[in-house]
Structure 1
Amino acid sequence: MGEQQVEPEDTASDNKPPGRILTAITGVAVIVLVCLHYDWWPSRFGDMAWADPLLFGGAALLVLVVAGTVWAIRTLHYVGQDRRWTWWIMAAPAVVAVAVASALLLPPQSFDDMRPEFERVALEVLASPERSRSNVEIGRFDFRSVRQRSDEAVYFVREDGLGMAMSGWAYSPDGPPAGFSATHLGGPWYEFRVVWRD
């Protein structure tokens, strides 16, 4: 009785292309970054206003780096080693490309875009017996306070840099605001920034 020959099995490759799950993870990270870019993130007033965008933005960037690494490895194995192709390979990069193109072609609203709304709030504060308002939102801008000072200018104050800096805009029809180094933006408007140093 002769020796039985066993034909080698034609096993399929275990390499998988980047697919729906990787695209979904990439999409969630991109949505977080787009929301932060356009200031669509929920407002958080107070001392920790910077924390949410920093933590969520950092996490989203880390997820994108990991997703990009996984995408590159899977694509190299699937296309380079197995010589196969699927359109799912292009899905995650397409999500990132659309988000980047949108951010470049559609910049966030600027102060100039919102100037009529700023002027409306400034005139309301000047006409009101209360000389200040706290936690004011104008479009994508969040202000710790909007207040009238003794120089009759109205200051829209944002706190930056972990409480080490203050910036914003001043509505000052009588000239440059007192006590600040400010850049004239035209008309009664000035932009200022103050940094506290030890």
Structure 2
Amino acid sequence: MVPRLIRLCLSCRSRGFTLAEVLVVLALFGLIAALAFAPSVILVRGLGEARTETAKEQVSDYLLGRIAAEMRLSPRYFPGGPAVAAVRKDLLGGLADDRLAFWSDYGGEPGVRAWKVFRPGAGRDGAPGIYRWILPLASPGAVEWENLDPAGGRLFIPGADFLRISVLSAETGEWGDDYEGPRPRGVRFEARTGKEAVFREDWLPPE
């Protein structure tokens, strides 16, 4: 009777799991869960990054549209000089450093709007990006571009290091780069912040 009970107890004990076996099973479950959820985590992270990049592009597009909005309130002609001046400039490394100036009273602030990229350097302090200056006593064709201080301007697109501007002449009907003359019929912008590029084209009133 007793040996039979001993054998029965031993057989019951042999059907249990050791601590090592339990740990191995838990490790396998953890590995399977990690492999199953990793693509989801990567997808969610990718969607978040894409959403952030899209938001940045939308903001940059809106701000470029702001330039055209201010230009729509500029006069077709300016006394004693061009109503609009666009300066084409290229830097080493393929960066565009175009500038744009026109008079406007957008927002109740009359004066020449001067737009350009500011790049910090020796004796040039300030955050990099596309700035706008309002110069009450200047004319569009006589802006002293190299003397513009970022402290006196407003940073519109932080970090932008590329600005390309083209205008559609109302007189010739052709797109051009360097331009001085009446308010054009249209304007194109390309702005870049690192590898991110934003393009925008706007039409201006004929009169």
Q: Which has the higher Rg, Structure 1 or Structure 2?
A: 2
On whether the aligned pair clears a TM of 0.5, the verdict is no
TM-score of the superposed pair, with normalisation by structure 1 = 0.31
TM-score by length of 2: 0.30
> Greater share of helix residues, 1 or 2?
1
